[in-house]
Amino acid sequence: MKFKTGQFVELIDTKGRKYIFQLKKNEKFHFHQGFVLHNEIIGKEPGCQLVSSKGKKVLVFYPKTSDFLLKMKRGAQIIYPKDLGAILTLGDISLNNKVLEAGTGSGALTIYLLKMVGEKGKVISYERRKEFLERAKENIKNYFGKLPQNLILRKRDIYKQGIRREDKNLDRVVLDLPEPWRAIDAVKKSLKAGGILMVYNPTVQQMLRVKKEIDKTKRFYFEGMYEVLQREWKIEEMSMRPKDRMVAHTGFILVARRLS
């Protein structure tokens, strides 16, 4: 599909740096290697090659979701793509699932959940901070072009208010909260038998408290706790070796399944 006005595109320069911006008629995009005209991109196909004002070759694609998330505006820290992939896999997020996320943040996980459950699924997301909710709403709208009809965003404190009656009967729950153990009782009452709970937190102390709370309910089967590390490799003409820097610890993922 050819690029159109209003769409987001990803420009990659000769050093592999990526820039994401929205196409607008008669505007310029400035970067380290000069500028390109938006009008030169509009009407072309993804993967096209252009030359900047400084004579540098650039490539233009539609942005991958992972790149879009890393470049979008943030209210709260996002869950990194390496962990998002693990959450979707370990949680077996599938078409038509009804999923509740507590801790919308900047909307990174929300976007991936919407892609996975499809139009007939449903994603409900709770966020207690209004400014985070507004930022997430803007990011989701920018990604999809509009707010999906199967998304419900609520300003709600799951610690104090629990889960709304109409939001219950859930297939999956994801908690990305500072004190997720405080929400376990609400999850126990709202997750279907066999449903999957995932908790994402950065510290061992947080996860230990979650595990103790889950065990106390006697209503969950603890499946495991995981950490994902990502190391990129450098490929040159005569050698191949790991890069000096890697994306190491960002958070732990705890997985538990609801008993009948």
* Kind plus residue range of the DSSP H or E element containing 12: strand 8-12
Once rounded to an integer, what is the mean pLDDT over residues 231-235? 92
Phi, psi of 216 (to 5 degrees): -65, -35
Integer Cα distance of 207 and 212 in angstroms: 9
pLDDT reported for residue 122: 98
Segment 22-55, tens digit of pLDDT: 999 999 999 999 999 999 999 999 999 999 999 9
pLDDT reported for residue 251: 96
pLDDT reported for residue 84: 96
Place of tokens 């030359």: 51
pLDDT reported for residue 74: 87
Segment 60-103, tens digit of pLDDT: 999 999 999 999 988 888 899 999 999 999 999 999 999 999 99
Q: CATH top-level class for 67-258?
A: alpha beta
Q: Is the pLDDT of residue 111 over 90?
A: yes
Is residue 145 very low, low, confident or very high in pLDDT (cuts 50, 70, 90)?
very high
Return the domain boundaries, the chain: 8-63, 67-258
Work out the end-to-end distance of the chain between its first and last CA atoms, rounded to an integer number of angstroms. Answer: 47
Instruction: Compute the 3-state secondary structure of the chain and give helix, strand, coil in percent, each to the nearest 5.
Output: 30, 30, 40
pLDDT reported for residue 78: 86
Once rounded to an integer, what is the mean pLDDT over residues 244-259? 95
The separation between CA 95 and the C-alpha centre of its own chain, rounded to angstroms, equals 17
What is each CA distance from 136 to 22, 33, 50, 100, 170, in whole angstroms? 18, 31, 33, 15, 22
Q: Show the DSSP H helices in the chain as ranges.
A: 38-41, 65-71, 81-90, 108-117, 130-144, 158-161, 184-190, 204-217
**DSSP category for residue 42:** T
Q: Is the pLDDT of residue 143 over 90?
A: yes
* Kind plus residue range of the DSSP H or E element containing 192: strand 191-201
Place of tokens 């006005």: 5
Segment 155-204, tens digit of pLDDT: 999 999 999 999 999 999 999 999 999 999 999 999 999 999 999 999 99
Under 8 Å between Cβ of 109 and 100: no
In CATH, what is the architecture of 8-63?
Roll (3.10)
Q: What percent of the chain has pLDDT over 90?
A: 94
Q: Is the pLDDT of residue 140 over 90?
A: yes
pLDDT reported for residue 75: 81
Phi, psi of 115 (to 5 degrees): -65, -35
pLDDT reported for residue 76: 82
Is residue 126 very low, low, confident or very high in pLDDT (cuts 50, 70, 90)?
very high
Q: What percent of the chain has pLDDT over 70?
A: 100
Q: Is the pLDDT of residue 151 over 90?
A: yes
Under 8 Å between Cβ of 96 and 169: no
C-alpha R_g of the chain: 21
Average pLDDT along the chain: 96
pLDDT reported for residue 45: 97
